[in-house]
Structure 1
């Protein structure tokens, strides 16, 4: 994805600050016996942990590190947080022993209705996990349903459905495990502005599945994570992700990603010290997009409509010292069938 020859030739106008942002890694299964789209092989997962250690990166608890990144408090500290969605059994049997060996904290986002069923952690395992230093359990909804409002759904019906899933899961987690961190991971990474408002009202940090680092201009209700399934987590691109920075655009001013026109148009404003011609943006499955710059404002649009429910625009910009600013806009076409 990164055009290094172009990056080398298009330097920024002024030196960029040396501060760092938070990189959050997202995993599901740690297994080579489960669906490839959501699985990371145990060998690759351990290689990730070893690479983090080799690079000298700090692995921190998700909540405190996220708040520090949003507050612009990391300075030159390069930090990583590790997360798992769905509380699959392999998180406990395979990932947890490795993480304990490395001494790395991590967060498990739990969809409570699945706990104890085949292929998932049990409540006893989650309780044992919570008792270990550095392990956090947080909300991933009750039923793992698609929580964005459906096209044929009334506002009242949607609100009742979404609130029930969020609050039932939170109630069960607190009843079973005690006080739970004020964090949420959107099922399938899907959200809309109304769902974001629910997160803000509850004071929850909310995480998607779009790639990128978390920085001072990120939005607490649509926080990025790097998906690390085997297809996306290969070692040849890992350093770029682990040492990436958040593209300094105001995330709160960007669209929530619900598609009105397909392909959608994305417009964002770069800060004065970044040159629009050094920005590279790619559309899922369609390659590099043509930029339409107007001074610091940049507009991108994929050349063809998408046939999938979810897709992304990913943008990178050289940040110096071999690092990249990284930004991803997830799009959701609600007219497409749910998974």
Structure 2
């Protein structure tokens, strides 16, 4: 393991900056909520853009293997994923993806399928997708808010319940498809440090909904994804996100999604080799945040006012010195329950 880490560091020093981008879709339809939808025409345009601009669309299994083994990431690598088990993933998106020959992953909630909660896939459809090469992975049993304790529940009880939830959903997917990837896409993109610790203990990979590119320093308990629906379905917007890089973060000093202080402080230690410190820009919604550099490679940012209830983010970017037209991008998700 130590040799792999050393080789990965040496490779990063001798090679161009490497990063992958993962996209998240939900509905592919014209009659579903716009905030979580792309039309079939928009989706086809996205895939055509990837093809026309020579992006390397790879399976999530390939990316995870590269990250775990310290192997090079293909230049301009893109991973396509879907959340929430919607039937239009099979009826509309699947034929288009098969036409392009692109691999992709669906994150499903087995309980929602078992109980037919909403316009969801059937197990027959899931099995057909799996037979066609689609990767089927875990989105919790019933798409729960996983960080929330139930009334009267202790933290130990919560951890036991969540562990059972994750393992039961994984077993159900294995029973129906034969697949057992041990990847969990957090419902609503919600997680905290304790949930990340549990994911690591179980040997799973945790995948969020915060924006950002993916590199070899990305934590395997909080892999980011870019939304590609609603306001983000615009091709010009998507094209910019596809050309982003992952900051080389060496320590997440203050980055627990579930906040205790409000406004929260984001504090990161990172390698500052391919961007200028004075070009780092951070935002909390429309508010520009002034990064405070504590050392040559450690900075922090804090919003000027408390965050609203629910989910929010700080976004930090900086232009790459070595890869023209590319920006580093990190999104810190916050959860204020």
Aligned match of 1:175: 175
Greater relative contact order (CA < 8 Å, ≥ 6 in sequence)? 1
The 8 Å contact of residues 276 and 298 in structure 1, kept in 2 or not, is answered as no
| Aligned equivalent of 2:3 | none
Relative to 1, partners in 2 of residues 1:251 and 1:25: Cα closer, same or farther, differing over 3 Å? farther
Shift in Å at residue 161 of structure 1? 2.0
Structure 1 residue aligned with 2:335: 332
Which moves more between the two structures, 269-278 or 202-211?
A: 269-278
Asked if the contact 2:209–2:225 (Cα under 8 Å) also holds between the matched residues in 1, the reply is yes
Match of 1:25 among 8, 23, 26: 23
TM-score (norm 1): 0.88
Q: CA deviation at 1:233?
A: 2.9
Residue 321, structure 1, aligned to residue 318, structure 2: no
Q: How does 1:106-121 map to 2 (within 5 A)?
A: 106-115=104-113, 116-121=116-121
Q: Which residue of 2 aligns with 1:136?
A: 135
1:39 to 21, 24, 37: 37
1:100 aligned partner: 98
Sort the Cα spacing of 1:208 and 1:84 in 2 relative to 1 into closer, same or farther, 3 A. same
1:250 aligned counterpart, secondary structure: strand
- 1:152-207 deviation line (CA, Å, top 9, x unaligned): 64112202321232122112111122132121100011111111112112211110
1:39–1:178 distance in 2 versus 1, CA, 3 Å: same
* Alpha-carbon separation, structure 1, partners of 2:14 and 2:33: 41
Deviation at 1:248, TM superposition (A): 1.2
Map 1:225-264 onto structure 2 (within 5 A). 225-250=225-250, 252-264=252-264
Query: Matched residue of 2:230: which SS?
Result: coil
Aligned partner of residue 83 in structure 1, secondary structure: strand
**Unmatched runs of 5 consecutive residues or more in structure 1:** 1-14, 335-339
Q: Secondary structure at the match of 1:317?
A: strand
Secondary structure, counterpart of 1:332 in structure 2 = strand
Establish whether residue 202 from structure 1 lines up as the match of residue 173 from structure 2: no
Cα displacement string for residues 116-152 of structure 1 (whole angstroms, at most 9, x for unaligned residues): 443101000000000013x100011101111114396
Equivalent pairs, count: 318
1:18, 1:76 within 8 Å by CA — same for their partners in 2?
no
Q: Distance in 1 between matches of 2:97 and 2:251?
A: 32
Shift of 1:255: 2.0
The 2-side partners of 1:128 and 1:311 are apart by 37
Q: What is the DSSP-based 3-state SS (H/G/I as helix, E as strand, rest coil) of the residue aligned with 2:199? A: helix
Question: Structure 1 residues 139, 76: closer, same or farther in 2, change over 3 A?
Answer: closer
Q: Does structure 1 retain, via aligned residues, the 8 Å contact 2:63–2:73? A: no
Moved more, 112-121 or 259-268: 112-121
Once the two structures are superposed, the pairs formed by residues 155-194 of structure 1 within 5 Å of their partners are 155-194=155-194
Query: 1:250 Cα deviation (Å)?
Result: 2.7
Does the 8 Å CA contact 2:149/2:155 hold for their aligned counterparts? no
Residue 4 of structure 1 aligns with which residue?
none
Matched, 1:67 2:65: yes
Distance 1:253 1:16 in 2: 28
Distance in structure 1 (CA, Å) of the matches to 2:174 and 2:39? 32
Distance 1:19 1:191 in 2: 29
Structure 2 gap segments, 5+ residues each: 1-12
- Distance 1:69-1:77 versus aligned 2 partners, 3 A rule: farther
> Whole-Å Cα distance in 1 between the matches of residues 55 and 65 of structure 2?
18
- Supply the distance in 2 between the matched residues of 1:127 and 1:112 (Cα, whole angstroms): 13
Structure 1 residue 36: Cα displacement:
2.0
Report the counterpart of residue 3 of structure 1 in structure 2: none
